[in-house]
Chains A and B, each alone.
Chain A
Amino acid sequence: MKHCEYQQIDPQALSTPTPTLPPQHAVVQEEKKGETARRKWEDFPGKNRFYCDGRIIVAQQSGVLPLTLGLILVTTVLFFVFDCPFLLKHLTVFIPAIGGVLFVFVVISLLQTSFTDPGILPRATPDEAADIEKQIDNSGSSTYRPPPRTKEVMINQQVVKLKYCFTCKMFRPPRTSHCSLCDNCVERFDHHCPWVGNCVGKRNYRFFYTFIVSLSFLTVFIFGCVATHLALRAQGGRGLMFALQESPASAVELVICFFSVWSILGLSGFHTYLVASNLTTNEDIKGSWSGKSGTEDTGNPYSYNNIITNCCSVLCGPMPPSLIDRRGFMPVEESSQTVATEIELAAKNEINVCQLVLCLSVFVCMAHHHPPLGGQLSGLCSVLCWLMSKCTQGTKDLLESASRSPCPQTGKPQTVSTSCPDSIDPADPAVTFNPDVTPDPVAVPSLKCGGRHHSHTTSPPDEPRQLHHHHHHNRHHKTRSARSSSKRAALHISNPAYNVSLSPPTSPGLGPSHGTGAEEHVRDSFATLH
């Protein structure tokens, strides 16, 4: 197996600034290769969607945002149509006025929460990622185990661990977390809110807080007004049923408000506590600063230990700019672009071939689960994977379609799968690719979990540790762009098969190439580890 193939292509000449490309943009890029300037949002690697030429950013799934908007609109409209005339006549004109102001506040802050960039950190450029890798290697331990991907910094005389994000290829700044739904690292990550259909982070937390506070005011206000309305109608001994018959819409509003007021008020109270102590939901849930480990040293290092200062800094602090520069133009580099477009053209032609190859390989692997044939099949699969690795641009499309194809997993992995989260990130080609293709049951969990390894705080189980480490080592040493990621996947297939030492492949043609390729690869990883 020829591992040197991918090394000959210089990633610096090939790669566009973004390391990964979503599949639909791959097609768009080929169509647009004649145009000169593209905006950066068109090549955004995360799972966000953009509207109005990059001015509006939302998460991939709008979640329940339409429901939220719908409920608010319906309740308020019903209130204005059915309750306000009565209350206007019998009480005061301020009631609709206050209701109107609150409603406007709620809708505006909701839309701002949903459509604002929460504080997404752009992914590291290939040069940066390489520099970080170099630093990690230099400070690595001398044991066989690769260095842990954490870095410790002192913040306000307290030790804080920074984790390495494998997707974004950088050490996450403090309080930053990677949202798997949006596939982005978000600064001061609070949570991903399905009600607003976006992450809540540094830049839109104040909008979110305004939204829930004004919504709780609005809900309480409407509830109170409707109750007053019904009470006034039911006066004079006529009874509540009579009042409800006269104004049935009020019943609807009452029900909606009654059920939402508890949750909204609770949420507002919770977030007020978070704001006052300068915490995020993420930190609070994980108990980062509550001293769970029992050391006296923990305490929130970001808090100013003063409620007012905390509130002011969170809500009234300076508004940081958006770091992803959605509407900026992509830098045009002539030499790299021509090479890139050539590769894209070639990739497009190879897509059909690769799809055929993939289907064949999946079929072959699925057809036989026999361990004695495992070696031969792994060899066959690695050849097929090498063929697939020739496809550069189109591979990601393929992998996404492969993940959606109804191929059940080949083997039942042992204990490892339980430690891995269920959601596989389909954007990560190494994760998507392997479970469908490899016949090796032990290889499956290591590769399946590889993409999620960064989310684990505990170390992986001992048994497939070797495989985990080879996987990660391969990823970080040999890959620079999405085009190389397919080659990364190819490397994995051969490596675990080699490590697990299955019965030697019966076909001599496949054997030597397979063996030497994996050997060279393992030798290389050993050399770098020691």
Chain B
Amino acid sequence: RFHNLQELRHSASLANKVFLQRDYSDGTTCRFQTKFPSELESRIERPLFEDTVKRLNIYYAEAEKMGGQSYLEGCLACATAYLIFLCMETRYEKVLKKIGRYIQEQNEKIYAPRGLLITDPIERGMRVIEISIYEDRGSSGSCSGSSSTSGSSAR
């Protein structure tokens, strides 16, 4: 079955949610674990998924990169008593917008046709990448859509 994003919201019902947790092996910088969750095994090919997560990690690393440009930004901000934060968009925010566009694009092209939806981590406090798994409303009656909290049967 193939969905697009709109169809997903109207005709499919939420079956389960998978959460990709943060990977703190590199400190407090934002990275997500690339471990492939078992619930997605039948839904999406592993290389596609890992590619998405790796790309997100690259973007976040770019946002938090400490290099010449960020130091310049920081020093300039300090010199103006941080008032430029009120009028200027920081590099982090620019990269976050880029990430939002990327996730939207990935959802449209890859995930929605497979009945999946990625939630932007910024909406979850950068704690997790939430992947919602949808089922066709007509098909599986065994799927208790709202009981994802019990987490027992995903399919």
**B-contacting residues of A (Cβ < 8 Å)?**
10-13, 104-105, 108-109, 112, 121-122, 124-128, 130-132, 134, 153-156, 160, 162, 170, 173-175, 187-188, 206-207, 210, 301-302, 312-313, 315-321, 323-325, 480
Asked if B150 is at the interface of the complex by the 8 Å CB criterion, the answer is yes
Given contacts A121-B125, A125-B124, A131-B151, contact A318 B24 (CB under 8 A): no
Complex CA–CA separation, A321 to B91 (angstroms) = 10
A509 to B122, CA, bound (A): 53
- Closest Cβ neighbor of B23 among chain A residues: A153
Rounded to whole Å, the gap between the CB of B53 and the closest CB of chain A is: 17
Give which listed residue, A121, A170, A173, A207, contacts B24 with CB less than 8 A: A173
> How far, in angstroms, from A320 to B65 measured CA to CA in the complex?
11
Among A124, A127, A210, point to the contact of B78 (Cβ < 8 A).
Answer: A210
Asked if B148 contacts A112 (CB within 8 A), the reply is no
Residue of A nearest to B152 (CB): A134
Nearest chain B CB to A527 CB, angstrom units:
15
Residue of B63, B75, B91, B149 most packed against chain A (CB within 10 A): B149
Assess whether A12 is in contact with B149, with CB atoms less than 8 Å apart: yes
Contact B81 A316 (CB under 8 A): no
Q: Is the CB of A318 within 8 A of B73?
A: yes
The verdict on A318 contacting B70 (CB below 8 Å), with A105-B81, A108-B83 known, is yes
Ordered by A's residue number, 28 sampled pairs between the chains whose C-beta atoms are within 8 Å are A104-B81, A108-B82, A128-B19, A128-B124, A128-B128, A130-B148, A131-B19, A131-B151, A154-B25, A155-B25, A160-B24, A170-B127, A210-B81, A301-B27, A302-B27, A302-B28, A312-B66, A312-B74, A315-B74, A316-B70, A317-B64, A317-B74, A319-B85, A321-B90, A321-B92, A321-B122, A323-B122, A480-B149
The answer to whether B17 has its CB under 8 Å from any CB of chain A is: yes
The answer to whether B126 touches A174, judged by C-beta atoms less than 8 angstroms apart, is no
Closest-CB distance, B105 to chain A (whole angstroms): 21
Is B149 a contact partner of A175 (Cβ separation < 8 A)?
no
Q: CA of A132 to CA of B149 in the docked complex: distance in angstroms? A: 10
> Which chain A residue has the least Cβ–Cβ distance from B74?
A316
Could you say which residues of chain B place their CB within 8 Å of the CB of A207? 82
CB distance from A137 to the nearest CB of B (A): 10
A476 to B88, CA, bound (A): 43
Q: Which residues of B contact A130 (CB under 8 A)?
A: 148-151
> Besides the contacts A302-B28, A320-B64, what 8 more A-B pairs have beta carbons closer than 8 Å?
A12-B146, A12-B148, A108-B81, A127-B19, A131-B18, A132-B19, A153-B24, A206-B82
A154 CB contacts on chain B under 8 angstroms: 25
Residues of A within 8 A of B26 (CB): 155-156
List, in ascending order, chain B residues with CB within 8 A of A104's CB: 81
Q: How far is the CA of A323 from the CA of B124 in the complex (A)?
A: 8
**Binary A-proximity of B1-28 (CB < 8 A = 1, otherwise 0):** 0000000000000000111001011111
In the complex, what's the smallest C-beta–C-beta distance from A521 to chain B, in angstroms? 18
Chain B residues near A (Cβ < 8 Å): 17-19, 22, 24-28, 63-66, 70-71, 73-75, 77-78, 81-83, 85, 90-93, 96, 122-128, 130, 146-151
Please give me the 7 A-B residue pairs with the lowest Cβ-Cβ distance, nearest first.
A316-B74, A12-B146, A130-B149, A122-B125, A108-B81, A323-B125, A153-B24
* Distance (whole angstroms) from the CB of A475 to the closest CB of chain B: 14
Q: Nearest CB to that of A134 among chain B residues?
A: B151
Q: What residue of chain A has the Cβ atom nearest to residue B16's Cβ?
A: A127
Q: Are B85 and A127 in contact (CB under 8 A)?
A: no
State whether B27 touches A321 (Cβ < 8 A): no
- Complex contacts, A105 vs chain B, CB 8 Å: 81
> Which residue from chain A places its CB closest to the CB of B83 in the assembled complex?
A108
Q: Which residues of B contact A13 (CB under 8 A)?
A: 146
* Contact of B148 with A127 in the complex, beta carbons under 8 Å: yes
| B66 → A minimal CB distance (Å) | 6
B67 to chain A, nearest CB (A): 10
From residue B79, how far is it (CB to closest CB) to chain A in Å? Answer: 10
Name which residue of chain A comes closest to B149, CB basis. Answer: A130
Complex CA–CA separation, A276 to B81 (angstroms): 21
**Which chain A residues border B24 with CB–CB below 8 Å?**
153, 155, 160, 162, 173-174
Residues B90 and A174 in contact, CB atoms below 8 Å apart: no
User: Taking CB as reference atom, which chain A residue is nearest B69?
Assistant: A318
CB distance from A158 to the nearest CB of B (A): 10
Chain B contacts of A315 at CB under 8 A? Answer: 74, 78
Choose among A132, A173, A480 the residue that contacts B22 (Cβ–Cβ < 8 A): A173
Q: Residue on B with the closest CB to A171?
A: B21
B83 to chain A, nearest CB (A): 7
The reply to whether A317 and B149 contact each other, CB–CB distance below 8 Å, is no
Contacts of B70 in A (CB 8 A): 316-318
Give the shortest distance, in Å, between A221 (CB) and chain B (any CB): 17
Q: A126: nearest residue on chain B (CB-CB)? A: B149
Nearest CB of B to A203, in Å: 10
A130 to B17, CA, bound (A): 10
**Which residue in chain B gives the minimum CB-CB distance to A122?**
B125
Q: How far is the CB of A478 from chain B (nearest CB, A)?
A: 11
Question: Closest B-chain residue to A157, C-beta based?
Answer: B25
User: What's the Cα separation between A12 and B149 when bound, in Å?
Assistant: 8
Q: How many Å lie between the Cα of A313 and that of B127 in the bound state?
A: 22
CB nearest neighbor in B for A328: B123
In the complex, what residues of A have CB within 8 A of residue B125's CB?
121-122, 323-324
Question: Which residues of chain A are within 8 angstroms of B66 by Cβ–Cβ distance?
Answer: 312-313, 317-318
CA distance A324 to B126 in the complex (A): 10
Q: Counting chain B CB atoms within 10 Å of each CB, which of A109, A126, A128 scores highest?
A: A128
Among A134, A175, A313, A321, the most chain B Cβ lie within 10 Å of the Cβ of A321
Residue of B nearest to A207 (CB): B82
CB atoms of A319 and B92 under 8 A apart = yes
Chain B: CB-nearest residue to A309: B66
By the criterion CB–CB under 8 Å, are A124 and B81 in contact?
no
- With A155-B25, A315-B74, A318-B73 known as contacts, the answer to whether A210 contacts B82 (CB < 8 A) is yes
